[in-house]
A and B are shown apart, each in its own frame.
Chain A
Amino acid sequence: MSSVPLSAYLTLAIILFCIGLYGALTKKNTVIVLIAIELMLNAVNINLVAFSKYGMMPSIDGQIFALFAIAVAAAEAAVGLAILIAIYRNRKSVNVDDYNSLKN
């Protein structure tokens, strides 16, 4: 009935996921890295919702799961930003390259 196949949604999701991953691994600004991670979460959410409609056993559960994911992502973004600001106060920088305290 639907003319848009499942694989199209999944392909869109994987493309967005890859863009997010690339951003997360290459961008210098920590805020952008956080946002890129949000994009990756979104791509996953697309998968969840798509499977809730086109999956083996279509049901509302997938959408519920996506809701939880969004809620956790929101919490994560808030905490992440709080950490960012705390670090920024100490280091006076939002550059990921300057955050190398793992080394010591």
Chain B
Amino acid sequence: MMEIAWIIPLFPLFSFLVLLIFGRKWRRGQIDFAVILSLVSFICALLVLFARFTQENVKVEFIWLTIGETQLTAGFEVNQLNALMLVIVSLVSFLVHMYSKAYMEGDERITVFFSYLGLFTFAMLGLVLSPNLLQTYIFWELVGVGSFLLIGFYFYKEEAKVAAKKAFIMTRIGDVGLLIGMILLFWQVGSFEYDEIFAAISAGDLSETMATLTAILIFIGAVGKSGQFPLHSWLPDAMEGPTPVSALIHAATMVAAGVYLVAALYPLFAYSEVAMLTIAIVGGFTAIFAATIGMTQKDIKRALAYSTVSQLGYMMLALGVGGYVAGVFHLTTHAFFKALLFLAAGSVIHAVHTQDIEKMGGLWKKMKWTAPFFLIGTMAISGVPLLSGFFSKEEILVSAWVSGHYLLFTLAIVAAFFTAFYMFRLFFLVFGGEEKKEHSMVKESSNWMTVPMLVLALLAIVAGYIQTPWFGTFLGDWLTTGIAANVHGHLDGPLWVMIVATVVAFLGILLAWLMYSKKVISRDWFTSRAPYTYQLVVNKYYIDEVYQYIFVKGSRFVSQVLHFVEVYLIEGLISLVTITIRQLSMLGSKFQNGQTQLYGTVAFVGLAILIVVFALTGGGL
């Protein structure tokens, strides 16, 4: 099965092509076709994962290009991380396909939407299967294209257009870093192959500084894709896309690609302490930074987006402090519960036709399925014990504690508190409280939407049990076998870490309950006491404004200066040249007036000048 793992991305690609070409005819069948293809893709991925349990890694490559003595190869590779990612991506993709069938019902361009979904899934699966950096980069950009297309799906909305452009440009900033890092690495190692890079590292062929430099450059690429500070601001804006897209791309898969990249190149990062520290600090800062913003957002999807940014920061933090398994583990569980949350949010939006949480409320009774699912997701992300998020988050906290970065550990704890608070704030505001009049007609969504949520909800509950301190550390043992870098499967942290995490989660839930459900504490309690801080946070720390001011205004100023230079200096010079040429040619064309006398005059004057010059120089010219 593993030898034909390359077939997995081909199903969505086929779906993309078929929908692209025949999309306009018999739409109904097309969509079912796409859903079935994604299901086939998922089943194959599952088979590959099971095969990987018993078999060794598989790597198939062929020579793609030969440049001098360098050979560039293409192919695919199946290892533990790949197999896991394959399943995550294809599962979420399949569920989103299913969900979208109902969610996008009635949309004029539904087949286009599904073809984009196919393209994106193909790119993401290809990215995961890539055995070398070059191929990774190609799919990396393709994923970006898919994201761009899907964010801008409602291109008739100005915000969607702007958001798509923003996402594309901001991830491009990161991609440039990745490209430079990749080329530097190729220059140093002479190969794009992951295996050869790792071999060069373990052989010590790469100097410490160069390793740090390349690692940080590649990390910049991951920062762009995974929405880490300071390139995070595109992710919340990307919520302009359809909600299933948010669930697929901006919660479960593409944004996790950055984390995946760091994990895939983990030996390179582990080689450089500075790079590791950078990752940990950026991740930790992003986690708490985004969490604070998430507490103030009024748009349900944006709040979830900031939560995603925060959780991705968590993963980065885990990887940075050496918790390879913790990072990948959190990536897995997060993919499930965050996709669940987005799908549930989509279901709510589908029902009430607004994204403003202030206008929602009292939906618990109306939405018998969606509400519990949302609650499960919320509990999972908040770290309520026995749900998946609890285990993965605890793993990260332990990693941070064991690595000795106590400040980062504290940050992570505080972020966990914030997470619990803002997630339950969302929950209470949306589902709790009084029923609003305008929502009296709200109905539960169709089965096409609830079934994927059900699957994800189950996974959000049980996915944690693949790696627990109690029932064995299956995932950690499995993931770490055969990894070049020095990573540990599971860390036995002090018990109080788990207790603190639980307490903090419940504290956050309690606070949210008091504030938004019981209303014992006034909602304005904090706002009225620290209005400036609140303003700062609610405006997302003015990051967008700062970027606007520095980059947009700055480049606009520069371009105005350059425009001035161009208009008055360069164009002046150019018009001088053109005027000269024009005058010369006008003079020349004056001679071409068809009169033989003038022609004779010119010829004779030329002859006379020649003769005079010859006579003056004595013929020795």
Q: Which positions in A face B, CB cutoff 8 Å?
A: 21, 24-26, 33, 96-97, 99-104
Contact = CB atoms under 8 A, between A and B. Distances in A.
B594 interface: yes
A103 B593 contact: yes
Interface stretch (B9-17, B347-355, B597-605): B597-605
A25 B592 contact: no
A5 B620 CA distance: 29
A79 to B, nearest CB: 16
Contacts of A96: 595-597
Contacts of A33: 597
B594 to A, nearest CB: 3
B597 A100 contact: no
A96 B593 CA distance: 12
Instruction: Specify which of A24, A25, A33, A104 lies most central, judged by the most chain B CB atoms within 10 Å of its CB.
Output: A25
A103 B594 contact: yes
A101 B594 contact: yes
A49 to B, nearest CB: 24
Nearest to A98: B595
A21 B592 contact: no
Given A97-B595, A102-B596, A103-B594, 14 more contacts: A24-B600, A25-B600, A25-B601, A25-B604, A26-B597, A33-B597, A96-B595, A96-B596, A100-B594, A100-B595, A102-B595, A102-B599, A103-B592, A104-B594
Nearest to B608: A21
A4 to B, nearest CB: 26
A82 B601 CA distance: 24
A99 B596 contact: yes
A99 B595 contact: yes
A26 B592 CA distance: 17
A97 B593 CA distance: 9
A100 B554 CA distance: 61
Interface string B585-618: 0000000111111011100100000000000000
Nearest to B595: A100
Contacts of A21: 604
A103 B599 CA distance: 11
Contacts of B595: 96-97, 99-100, 102
A97 B604 CA distance: 18
7 contacts: A21-B604, A96-B596, A97-B595, A97-B597, A100-B594, A103-B592, A103-B594
Nearest to A25: B601
Interface string B231-273: 0000000000000000000000000000000000000000000
B391 to A, nearest CB: 92
A88 to B, nearest CB: 16
A100 B597 CA distance: 10
Instruction: Specify which of B597, B599, B600, B604 lies most central, judged by the most chain A CB atoms within 10 Å of its CB.
Output: B597
A25 B595 CA distance: 11
A100 to B, nearest CB: 3
Contacts of B592: 103
Contact of B593 (A24, A25, A100): A100
B597 A25 contact: yes
A97 B596 CA distance: 8
A28 B601 CA distance: 13
Contacts of A100: 593-595
Top 5 closest A-B pairs, CB basis? A103-B594, A100-B594, A102-B594, A25-B601, A100-B595
A21 B603 CA distance: 12
Nearest to B600: A25
Contacts of B599: 102
